[in-house]
Structure 1
Amino acid sequence: MIRRLAFAALLGAAALPAAALDLGAMTPEEKEAFGAQVREYLLQNPEVLTEAISVLETREQERQVEADRALVQQHLDALVNDGHSWIGGNPDGDITVVEFMDYRCGYCRRAFQEVEDLVAGDGNIRFILKEFPILGEQSDLASRFAIAVHQLHGDDAYKDAHDALMLMQTDVDESALRRLAEGLALDPQPILDRMEAPEVTAVIDANHQLGQTLGISGTPTFVMGDQMVRGYVPLSGMQALVADERAG
C-alpha cells in the first residue's frame, strides 16, 4: 500500500482520493514513516522518477499547446490582417502560415528555402512574414530596409529584398544596403531615408508588441493555422503540421 501511495504522490496523486494522501491529517510519526517508505521505494525503483518526469513534461507540453491555441485565436486579426505585413503564397489558401523572422537568425536562414519549398509545393498556403528583429543593430537595419522597400515599392520589391537579405553574407550596414538596393534596380537614397521614418518604426513596434503578447522570444516562430511552432522545423515537419491542420 505504501509503495502505491508513493507512486501516486509522484504523479500528482491522480490515482487516489485526496484524503488518502492528506499529510495534514497524519501524525508526525506517520509522516516520518511515510517519508521513509517513499525514499526507500525511490532508491529501489529509480526508474519511477524518469516515468514521473516524462508524464509531467507531457502534461506541460499539452498545457502549452492549448495556451498557445487560445492566444492565437485571441489575436488572430493582428496575426493575419494587420495591414502592414507582406502576404504571399495563395491569398485564398485554406491554411495561413505566419513566420516571425530575423535576418541575422541562423535558424531563420536555415528555414528560408524550406519555407519557400513548403509554400510553392503546397499551392494552397497563405504565407505572411512578420519582421521581428531581435538580434541587435544589424537585424534592426535589415528589417528597416525591407519595410522601407515594401512601403515605397510594393510587394514584389519587398519579396526580392527579403530574399536578398536572407542570403546576404556580409555585415548589414549602409554601404551594403546601398549595394543591395542597386542590385535590385532601386534608387538607394529614398530607401535609406525612409528607414528611420515613423511609419517604419511603427511596423517594428507593432510586431514586437504582438510577439510579446504571444510569448514569442525567439526566431523563427511560426503560426500554422491555430498552432504556434517555436523554433526551426524541417520541411517534412512543416508539411506534417499543415496536414494536421487540414485534417482538423
Structure 2
Amino acid sequence: MTRILPKSAGLLLLATAASIASFTPLRAETSFTPSQRKEIVEIVRQALKQDPSILSDAIASMRAQGEAAQQAASLQAVHDNAGKLGAANTDVVLGNPHGSVTVVEFYDPRCPYCRKVLPIIDKLVADDSDLRFVEKVIPVLGPNSQLEAQALIAAGRQNAYLKFQHALMSDSSAPSLDRIRSIAQSVGLDVARLEKDMKDSTVIALLRENLDLARKLGVDGTPTFIIGEKTIIPGAASEDDLKAAIAAARKAK
C-alpha cells in the first residue's frame, strides 16, 4: 500500500507516554503528593525492567483502539458521502452500471500496488455480472501522478479509459508528457485532443474532488477499496478478500 502520508514517529512517543500514564487511575497532579508520584514512577520503571512486554502490549492495545476508532469514523464518512462515492457521472464505472453491489477504488496510476491489483480488478469485473466497480483517481505521488491522472480522465472522454489505463500502468519507462503522448498514440487516441482535455478545468476539478473525498473518508494510501457502506480494505487486496467482502455486502442487502 502506498501511503499518502507517512506514519509519524511522534505518535509512537505519545502512545508510550500515554501508556505509562495509564498506570495511574487518577490525575496525579490532583491526587498524589510529589513523593507519592515519585514512588509510582519508580514502581512503573521497575515493572518495565522486569517485564518489558508490558509497554509493547500497552502500545499495541492503544494502536488497535486507534485503528478501530479510525475505521468507525471512516465508515460513518462513507455513509455520509454515499452519493459522492457511487453516483457521480464523472467517475469511471466498470462492470454492471446497475449492479447490486458497488466497489469504489481510490488509486494512483503510479502506485506499484495499484498496478499489482489491476488484473484482479479485471477478473472481478469479468466474472461478476452483478458488480458495479467505480474507479476514483487520486494523484498523491507528486507531479507525475497528477499528469497521468489528468491523462486518464482525458482518455475517458474518447471512450478509451481502459485501453489507455492498462497501457499506461504496464509501461515502465520514465514518466513524462512525451511518454503519455506515445502511449496515447499507441492505443489510437487523438493525441492533440487528449492534451487539450488534460488541461480542461473540469478534469482538474474532478481530481481535486476525488482528493477531497479521500481525505474526508480517512483514506491514507492507495489502493483503498470501499465495498458497499460496511467494508474498507486498504492496500493491495487479494482476489479472495475482495470476493468475500463483495459476497458479504450482497448478503447484507
TM-score by length of 2: 0.80
Give the structure 2 partner of residue 4 of structure 1. Answer: none
State the Cα RMSD in Å.
Answer: 2.5
Aligned partners of 1:218 and 1:230 also within 8 Å: yes
Give the structure 1 partner of residue 66 of structure 2. Answer: 60
* Residue 72 of structure 1, CA deviation: 0.9
Report whether the alignment pairs 1:175 with 2:181: no
Of 182, 191, 194 in structure 2, the residue corresponding to residue 191 of structure 1 is: 194
Query: Alpha-carbon deviations, 1:3-38, whole Å to 9, x = none?
Result: xxxxxx86947xxxx9x6453223333333333333
- Bigger drift between 196-205 and 165-174 goes to 165-174
Report whether the alignment pairs 1:231 with 2:247: no
In 1, Cα distance between the equivalents of 2:155 and 2:40?
69
Unaligned runs of 5+ in 1: 1-8
Aligned partners of 1:138 and 1:171 also within 8 Å: no
* Residue 61 of structure 1, CA deviation: 1.6
In 1, Cα distance between the equivalents of 2:195 and 2:34?
74
* Residue 87 of structure 1, CA deviation: 0.5
For the structure 1 residues 11 and 235, does the alpha-carbon distance in structure 2 shift closer, same or farther, using more than 3 Å as the test? farther
- Bigger drift between 139-148 and 179-188 goes to 179-188
* Residue 83 of structure 1, CA deviation: 1.8
What secondary structure is seen at the aligned counterpart in 2 of 1:133?
Answer: coil
* Residue 123 of structure 1, CA deviation: 3.4
In 1, Cα distance between the equivalents of 2:205 and 2:246?
31
Kindly report which structure 2 residues correspond to 1:6-155, keeping only aligned pairs within 5 A, or say none: 12=22, 21=26, 23=28, 24-151=30-157, 153-154=158-159
For the structure 1 residues 11 and 64, does the alpha-carbon distance in structure 2 shift closer, same or farther, using more than 3 Å as the test? farther
Unaligned runs of 5+ in 2: 1-18
In 2, Cα distance between the equivalents of 1:53 and 1:246?
36
Kindly report which structure 2 residues correspond to 1:204-223, keeping only aligned pairs within 5 A, or say none: 204-223=207-226
What secondary structure is seen at the aligned counterpart in 1 of 2:93?
Answer: strand
Aligned partners of 1:11 and 1:52 also within 8 Å: no
For the structure 1 residues 230 and 25, does the alpha-carbon distance in structure 2 shift closer, same or farther, using more than 3 Å as the test? same
Aligned partners of 1:72 and 1:228 also within 8 Å: no
TM-score by length of 1: 0.81
Query: Alpha-carbon deviations, 1:173-227, whole Å to 9, x = none?
Result: 3433333333323322222222212222222222122223333343212222223
Query: Alpha-carbon deviations, 1:16-72, whole Å to 9, x = none?
Result: xx9x64532233333333333333233223222232222222211211110110111
Aligned partners of 1:95 and 1:245 also within 8 Å: yes
The structure that has the greater radius of gyration is: 1
Structure showing greater relative contact order (alpha-carbon pairs closer than 8 Å, 6 or more residues apart): 2
In 2, Cα distance between the equivalents of 1:240 and 1:147?
30
Q: Quick one: which amino acid aligns to residue 48 of structure 2?
A: L
In 2, Cα distance between the equivalents of 1:12 and 1:122?
50
Query: Alpha-carbon deviations, 1:142-192, whole Å to 9, x = none?
Result: 2222211222x23xx222222222212223434333333333233222222
| 4+ long deviations beyond 4 Å | 9-13
- Bigger drift between 61-70 and 226-235 goes to 226-235
Aligned partners of 2:107 and 2:223 also within 8 Å: yes
Kindly report which structure 2 residues correspond to 1:232-247, keeping only aligned pairs within 5 A, or say none: 232-247=236-251
Q: Quick one: which amino acid aligns to residue 190 of structure 2?
A: D
